[in-house]
A and B are shown apart, each in its own frame.
Chain A
Amino acid sequence: MSITVLKPGLLTTVQDFGRFGHQRQGVVVGGAMDKLALRIANLLVGNHENAAALELAMQGPALRFEQDQVIALAGADLSANINGAQVRLWRPVLVKAGCILRFGKPAYGNYAYLAVAGSIKVPQVMGSCSTYLRAGMGGLEGRALQKDDVLYVGETSETNKLVLSALLMQAKKEAEFTEASWWPEPELLPKYEPNPVLCAMPGLEYHWFSENSREYIWQQKYKLTAQSDRMGYQVQGTALALEEKRDLLSTAVTFGTVQVPPHGDPIILMADSQTTGGYPRIAQVITADLPKLAQVQPGGIIQFEEVSLEQAQQRYYQQEKTMLALQQAIHNKLNQV
């Protein structure tokens, strides 16, 4: 059971939820930039939601499936096709052995997820399969995929087999691939916007900033620059300034932390955020809005909207309830076939 990499794509890595419990050793959490999309892709093929999958950045790879394989794509729309025929996101797809999955021009978003039934088989390092490029650990030999790499697929579970049998029932003999005739209701799927408003809580050093800066952060439209990657998204706007010069002793930062270096343009820390940093933290994007943020393309315009801790928690709970509903919907679908 394997997949051959014909073309690696811009930055294709193995990711799961990330590495937890080691931040005190300076080990970044990493993991998928858009966790919601990763979770859904995995659920659609019958995997555990935290299973190792491929994260495809902007320009996807070309992959040949060496055996019949159930897959699902989620997250960014990178114009996927199988042997030249368009294939849709957010649903299970049965691909015949020998078929090639390719990608075209990104239609929206940055990061797509390719889940395979049985999950990508790589060893766990410190409890996670996520690739952490800077320390060369996790994923496939601690690096992004390269041409001629061979990825192995793990054993399939009972749930994986249910997805497969549902697809086999509708598959036509001559078809190179079969998209499932069902998919989740749109309200259960993430809503991406090219220019989103992101909910954020005031950060730990919010009150260090000048009165003007404390207004700007909620009023400005920020442009996402090309200096944006898995570690952080750099945005541009009117420079923010502290009320008076103060130094922050290095302290914890995390995915969603909006920190302000001396030049005054905020950096929003992303999945590969360092564990600690020394720049004042003006805001913290709420967890529920991180997937939306991850998919904003360079040049996109974002705005922050101030929310309370209570509102942030409610949004978190709401997102988890939606995921439960999605899981239930998939379960019902598979068990009625």
Chain B
Amino acid sequence: MPQPALHPSLFLSPLGDSAVVLQFGEEISPAIHQRIRAVTHLLEQQPFRGLVDFVPAFTTLTVYYDPWELSQQGTTDAYSEVVRHLEILVEQAAVTAAAPARVVEIPVVYGGTFGPDLQEVAEQAGLSIEEVIRIHSQGSYQVYMIGFAPGFPYLGGMDARIATPRKAKPRESIPAGSVGIAGAQTGVYSITTPGGWQLIGRTPLRLFDPSRQEPSLLQAGDRVRFVPITEADFLSRKEEQA
């Protein structure tokens, strides 16, 4: 069913009758991410009539549309219409320079009650706690996509030395803002939820706040840096928010 489009290695396929998936490749890579970012950016700038929503992910961009509107009330083929729009954008994206990535700094209190698994991560890695903090906070992380929960970033680029398997038994409730490690990934819990990540710290920032103009602090394409702060800093930043 997938049909090759203009660009080699790009496939378009329907996800049911109201969405189309653009598949840019098979693996996580900065190059694929940049291509998805470019098309997503153009889609934001030039939404077509009948566009409902879109979701960039590791290797895909999924575009939701209203078949009734695109088909002019059932008189044409909605899928062909949406593919026609997308092919134009893909062509344009190929010759458009990508906008520079936004860099977002996320302050983090490492360890203590905010990062109860920091010791375990250090032991598994055969490093001191200080080294784990240094390695984690020196990295620059790519936001590949937002998913799983509102505002939850999938980050790429963690140093393999601090990779740690998930907890054998997931916690029932992890506070929003918790910074964790799961396998080779690092991330920040955006809402309070059950979860199995190793918790190494917590940020006072709200990754998701529906009352903000942009509820999600991060978006796909951003770069993230973690900045160590003290517990006192954490509390005063929390107070500022309240």
Contact = CB atoms under 8 A, between A and B. Distances in A.
Contact of A26 (B16, B40, B190): B190
A202 B15 CA distance: 9
Contacts of A281: 15
A275 interface: yes
A320 B40 CA distance: 29
B149 A26 contact: yes
Nearest to A276: B147
A173 interface: no
A26 B219 contact: no
B219 A309 contact: no
A136 B1 CA distance: 39
Interface string B201-215: 000000010100011
B86 to A, nearest CB: 15
A175 interface: no
B2 to A, nearest CB: 8
Contact of A320 (B60, B64, B73, B147): B73
B17 interface: yes
A313 B53 CA distance: 19
Contacts of A24: 40, 53-56, 146, 219-220
B59 A251 contact: yes
A107 interface: no
A250 B219 contact: no
A20 interface: yes
A34 B137 CA distance: 47
Interface of B: 1, 13-19, 21, 27-28, 40, 52-60, 62, 64, 67-68, 71, 73-74, 77-79, 145-152, 154, 190-191, 193, 208, 210, 214-216, 219-220
Nearest to A307: B17
Given A25-B216, A252-B21, A317 B74 contact: yes
Given A26-B148, A321-B74, 14 more contacts: A22-B53, A26-B216, A125-B210, A135-B191, A137-B210, A204-B13, A254-B15, A254-B18, A254-B64, A274-B147, A287-B17, A312-B16, A313-B71, A320-B74
Contact of A249 (B57, B148, B151, B210): B57
22 contacts: A24-B40, A24-B53, A24-B55, A24-B146, A25-B151, A126-B215, A134-B191, A135-B149, A249-B58, A250-B145, A252-B21, A252-B55, A252-B62, A254-B64, A256-B16, A274-B147, A275-B146, A284-B16, A313-B77, A313-B78, A318-B74, A321-B74
B150 A201 contact: no
Contacts, number: 145
Contacts of B215: 22, 25, 27, 126
A242 interface: no
A203 B37 CA distance: 25
A28 B214 CA distance: 15
Interface string A229-257: 00000000000000000000111101011
B76 to A, nearest CB: 10
Given A27-B215, A316-B17, A317-B71, A276 B145 contact: yes
Contact of B14 (A27, A125, A201, A251): A201
A26 B151 contact: yes
A287 B58 contact: no
A204 B73 contact: no
Of the candidates A27, A252, A315, the one having the most CB atoms from chain B within 10 angstroms of its own CB is: A252
B68 A320 contact: yes
A236 B68 CA distance: 34
Of the candidates B55, B193, B216, the one having the most CB atoms from chain A within 10 angstroms of its own CB is: B55
A309 B17 contact: yes
Interface string A1-29: 00000000000000000001111111111
A137 B150 CA distance: 11
Contact of B146 (A25, A125, A318): A25
A313 B15 CA distance: 12
Leading 4 A-B pairs by shortest Cβ distance? A276-B147, A317-B74, A252-B62, A25-B216
Contact of B147 (A22, A203, A250, A318): A250
Contacts of A251: 21, 57-60, 62
Nearest to B78: A313
A26 B208 contact: yes
